[in-house]
Amino acid sequence: MSRWMAVDHGTRRIGIAVGNTADRIASPVKVVAAEPASAAIEQIKSLMADYQVDGLVVGWPLNMDGTEGPQGELARGMAVALADAANVPVRLWDERLSSFVADVALRGLLTRKKRRARQDAIAAAAILQDFLNSGTVDEPAPHPRDVKPEENPEF
């Protein structure tokens, strides 16, 4: 069994979720502030130790046509920083529509303010759930700086 942590990187907030390959269930954990980036990375590393994770999945917000836009570049930068700071594999994972999934899951359950506070962690759980269900968990992956959108196996 291996335990994975998902990171849904945003400009203001970063959603965190954890799951494992045994039960293939991803659960939202928390949301951390995205700035300053060095503090965010330290918080993620601390959570990695707390949850004893074996790998990270960073949500990669690609455009609907599969190209990488400005948000995709920011997420890749976070993935590279985490890969350099952590001693675990880091995978970029297509996160298109994960925020929509989180919105649907929370609709009608919380106030708008509370929904916004939880949305990023639930989006991270959606990203991780997709990854765990993909059957590619044990496949080797290149360093995030070497991944190109057209090389992502999910297209």
Q: Could you give all domains of the chain from N- to C-terminal order, each with its CATH number?
A: 3-151 (3.30.420.140)
Q: Mind giving me the DSSP string for 78-106?
A: HHHHHHHHSSS-EEEEE-TTHHHHHHHHH
What contacts 24+ positions apart, CB below 8 Å, involve 101-107? 101/126, 102/126
pLDDT at 109 exceeding the cut of 50: yes
What pLDDT does residue 31 have? 94
What pLDDT does residue 115 have? 54
What pLDDT does residue 65 have? 82
Mean pLDDT of 26-48: 95
What pLDDT does residue 42 have? 96
pLDDT at 64 exceeding the cut of 60: yes
CA distances from 109 to 50, 66, 99, 137 (A): 29, 32, 16, 32
Average pLDDT, the chain: 84
Q: Are 79 and 53 in contact (CB under 8 A)?
A: no
pLDDT at 89 exceeding the cut of 80: yes
State the pTM of this model: 0.83
What pLDDT does residue 138 have? 84
**Percent of the chain whose predicted confidence (pLDDT) is above 90:** 54
Which H or E run includes 56?
Answer: strand 55-60
Mean pLDDT of 32-40: 95
